[in-house]
Structure 1
Amino acid sequence: MEYLNPGRAPYTARERELIGAAHTRQARAHFDRHPAYRPTPVHTLPGLAGTRAVHVKDESGRMGLGSFKALGGAYAVHLLAQRHGGGTPVLCASAGNHGISVAYGAREAGVPCAVYLGHDVPEAFARRLRVLGAEVRRDGDDYEAAMAAAQRAAHEHGWRLVADSSWEGYTEVPLDVMRGYTVLFDELAGPWPGTGHVPPGAGAPWEAPTHVFVQAGVGGLAAAAAGYIRDRWGEQPKIIVVEPEGAPCLIESARAGRPLRVPGSHTDLGRLDCREPSLIAHRLLTRLADLYMTITDDDAEAAVRLLAGHGVALSACGAAGAAGLVALSPSGRAALGLDSTSRVLVVGTEGPVEPK
């Protein structure tokens, strides 16, 4: 399923206030001081999928935590500790990687942490959370049930909820999470125009992509990508949001013009199996994304094999953006102007860490 976004509109000061470059610089300054921080590599695959080149931003080694999520939850916990002081426990719901990031940040801040997992989350993630000092609480059959349990506990005990999704009345922390994610895109760039400043760890100035395929669960990473890319590289790059066929909450919300909870169906893409979008992400993407699309589990597994053949090892969730590129229909390619001259950016969001 593909949906060309009729609401696409120019980037404005309103979006910049939410997810613009000033926030990225603040987050980058925090991580540049962190002893475990290193920019992650980019694998360039010339000619892949009929393009000039595909650039894969490989997040599998991010800070030893295995995914891009390391930049989000931990950063939000750091900011909470700055604003409110330490001591108050934090908690979250997670399908795996977000909880690991929150637990990592809580350990650094010296505050207790509880992570709610649905019973569908592999035990391997629970073990990693416990190693980081988090209390793991299983509650409900899926992410949505775990989130409801985490919200109840935060309300009952006065703990601070660190969610990577947002809703009416709860936006500050999810925005901090998203602003952390923008660091991975900033690592691609050299000096900002007119500043002469090269962030530590940055390479040579990077040619702007023509197309960006980014996978989505609740949409936080996709919206962070859209906000950064529009501020940095303007209106020209085409932004494509890729969701599992079994959990198309963003594409259906875009069609409806409002956030929807979708019934969905089974998908093996566990970290992307989200039935309701983040409110902030939905609002940003309905203005800044060019096309929404869904992929099948088979599409994602095929992308894993394709990238592995080029020496890039990712999970099916991690390869979902690349799967979108490969699965895009001829009409979609034509609508987006994607051809042999295109420079495509995809995010390899996590390594091959999906236990069966």
Structure 2
Amino acid sequence: MLTANSRALRALYPDALKRILNVASGDESRAWLSHWDAISAQPTPLVELPGAAARLGVASVSVKDESFRSPLGSFKALGAPIALMRLILRLWPDHAIDPQALIQGRHRNLLTHFTVISATDGNHGKALAAAAQSIGCACVIVLHANVSVEREEAIAAYGARIVRIAGNYDESVEHAAQLARDNGWHVVSDTSYEGYETIPRDVMQGYGAIAAEIIEQAGEFAYTHVFLQGGVGGLAAGIASYLWEIHGEKRPRFIVVEPGQADCLYQSALAGRAAKASGSVDSVMAGLACGETSPLAWQILEACVDHFMLIEDDDAVTAMRTLAAGEDDDLPLVSGESGAAGLAGLAVLMNDAELARAAGLNAQSRVLLISTEGATAPGVYAELVGESAQAVAKRRDERLAALAQ
């Protein structure tokens, strides 16, 4: 399913939106993150897939591979630490805290009794736990019933205390908020709600680092279409806002992809306001299995996303396998369930001539995809793809070594 957004603008990035997300703050966040040893010192790869482009009938397909971002395995490593750092700087304005020293743990004595909490589907919670461990504060993570034990163990490995509930993601968000009120803890969430916007804004600013690297790596090469994963909208807003501010009226066409059963952004596009999903919200794309749109992110997305679309779980699994296989001499890529959603969306559109025309996709289209995660749940990845992430990575590395000779 595909719907056009009649409210999308082709204009300079509005000053009103700059007060939410802007290039300057995104670049500052990127500079701060460069001092964290859990982040790669190098930009994540921007990989060309000429085989996929030829099969799908477009001019080019480029994939920004966020599996290399951090040992945490996903783009979430960019958002949670920035939000935590900015929160601490706001709470202790008189302590002249240096951001570099903060992320390196040199202010941990100040934070002995400081605790942060968040609900998560996995990756945000792991990133927050890792950032809290580096900075030196306590962290509590609330997990809902559908989060795997594998993901729970990965979060706990960074020293977080785990709280399990029987409900879904949105109920875990409510539970985290209640625990914070009861214990005097601070919520560091990647989704906004009424009265809670500053921290989600900071999370989204961290994601601007991805867009900044893309601009540097692509040089003069201009993309016509950018596919962005949905979820609550934070990633899409963080990247789209940065690219829009840089390119202005010549910005690429943005297409947001989300699971059919977790369609909160799609429903928001239909309603013209931040809305809830209409389905069960239970998807193999765990990072996109969100029931409520972030109102703050929606202010950005409503103004610039040209199309919202839905895919099925099987579409995502097929895209995972395609990327892993490295078909038609493409480089094999390890892309998780949510990471492959962009390619899945592109394939769905290009396999339907009417939908492709509606999205402005044709043989001249230059498409950018963001593989937002690697195998953050290795067991799930192996089950879905039919081989381990290590095996795929080995084939990838062998191919790169052969190309380098």
Aligned residue for 1:208, secondary structure, equals coil
Given candidates 119, 129, 133, the residue that maps to 2:159 is 133
Identity, % of aligned positions: 38
Query: Aligned pair 1:110/2:125, yes or no?
Result: no
Residue 260 (str. 1) matches residue 271 (str. 2): no
The one-letter amino acid paired with 2:313 is D
CA deviations on 1:219-272 (whole Å, 9 max, x unpaired) are 110111210110122233000000101111011111111222234134222221
Matched AA of 2:289: D
SS of 1:346 mapped into structure 2: strand
| 2:104 aligned partner | none
Which residue of the partner structure matches residue 207 of structure 1?
221
1: CA distance, partners of 2:188 / 2:259: 25
Q: Within 2, Cα distance between the matches of 1:208 and 1:173? A: 32
Deviates more, 1:44-53 or 1:178-187: 44-53
Structure with the bigger percentage of helix: 2
Amino acid paired to 1:242: V
Report the equivalent of 1:193: none
Partner of 1:314: 335
Residue 6 (structure 2) pairs with residue 6 (structure 1) = yes
2:222 is paired with a residue whose SS is coil
In the other structure, the counterpart of 2:76 is 69
1:123 and 1:297 mapped to 2: Cα distance? 21
**Structure 1 length normalisation: TM-score?**
0.93
The Cα RMSD (Å) is 1.5
1:82 match? 89
**In 1, distance between residues paired with 2:162 and 2:142?**
6
What is the CA-CA distance between 1:188 and the residue it aligns to?
Answer: 1.6
Q: Computing the radius of gyration over CA atoms, which structure comes out larger, 1 or 2?
A: 2
Residue in 1 that maps onto 2:346: 325
- In 2, Cα distance between the equivalents of 1:117 and 1:247? 18
> Could you tell me which residue of structure 2 aligns to residue 231 of structure 1?
245
Matched, 1:276 2:292: yes
AA at the equivalent of 2:317: E
Distance of 2:218 and 2:363 partners within structure 1 = 24
Rounded to whole Å, the distance in 2 between the matches of 1:353 and 1:102 is: 15
Q: Distance in 2 between matches of 1:206 and 1:111?
A: 43
Change (3 A) 1:204 1:334: closer
Give yes or no for contact 1:211–1:344 (8 Å, CA) kept in 2: yes
1:304 to 320, 336, 344: 320
Question: Partners in 2 of 1:293 and 1:148 — Cα distance?
Answer: 28
Return the TM-score normalized by structure 2: 0.82
Change (3 A) 1:150 1:256: same
Count of residue pairs brought into register by the alignment: 344
SS for the counterpart of 1:187 is helix
User: Where in structure 2 are there 5+ consecutive unaligned residues?
Assistant: 93-110, 327-331, 381-405
Matching residue's letter, 1:110: G
Contact residue 212 and residue 239 of structure 1 kept, 8 A: yes
Shift of 1:206: 5.0
Please state how far the C-alpha of 1:208 moved relative to its aligned partner: 2.6
Task: State the alpha-carbon separation in 2 of the partners of residues 276 and 255 from structure 1.
Answer: 14
SS of equivalent residue, structure 1 residue 18: coil
Q: Which residue number in structure 2 is paired with residue 351 of structure 1?
A: 374
State the 1:332 CA deviation.
3.0
Would you say 1:40 and 2:44 are equivalent positions?
yes
SS for the counterpart of 2:354 is helix
1:29-56 CA-to-partner distances (Å, cap 9, x unmatched) read 1122333433111111122521111111
By how many angstroms is 1:312 displaced? Answer: 1.0
Residue in structure 2 matching 1:60, options 49, 59, 67: 67
**2:29 pairs with 1:15:** no
Contact 1:43 1:312 in 2 (8 A): no
1:67/1:349 contact within 8 Å kept: yes
Is 1:220 aligned to 2:234, yes or no?
yes
Partner of 1:250: 265
When structure 1 is superposed on structure 2, of 168-177 and 45-54 the one drifting more is: 45-54
Is the CA contact 1:73–1:162 (under 8 Å) kept in the aligned structure 2?
yes
Task: Name the counterpart of 1:240.
Answer: 255
| Residue type of the alignment partner of 2:335 | L
CA deviations 1:186-207 (Å, max 9, x no partner) are 11223xxxxxxxxxxxx57252
Structure 1 stretches of 5 or more lacking a match? 191-202
Question: CA–CA distance in 1 between the matches of 2:118 and 2:183?
Answer: 13
1:172 matched to which residue of 2? 198
Question: Does the 8 Å CA contact 1:166/1:174 hold for their aligned counterparts?
Answer: yes
Q: Give how far 1:3 is off.
A: 0.5
Inter-partner Cα distance in structure 1 for 2:81 and 2:70:
11
SS at match of 1:241: strand
User: In the alignment, what sits opposite 1:334?
Assistant: 357
| Cα distance between partner residues in 1 of 2:127 and 2:283 | 24
Q: What CA distance in whole angstroms lies between the structure 2 residues aligned with 1:299 and 1:204? A: 28
Q: Distance in 1 between the 2:135 and 2:233 partners?
A: 27
Query: 1:132 deviation in Å?
Result: 0.6
Per the alignment, residue 196 of structure 1 pairs with none
* 1:31 and 1:37 in contact (8 A); partners too: no
Q: Amino acid of the residue matched to residue 19 of structure 1?
A: L
Q: Please tell me whether the aligned partners of residues 116 and 185 of structure 2 are also in contact (alpha carbons under 8 angstroms).
A: yes
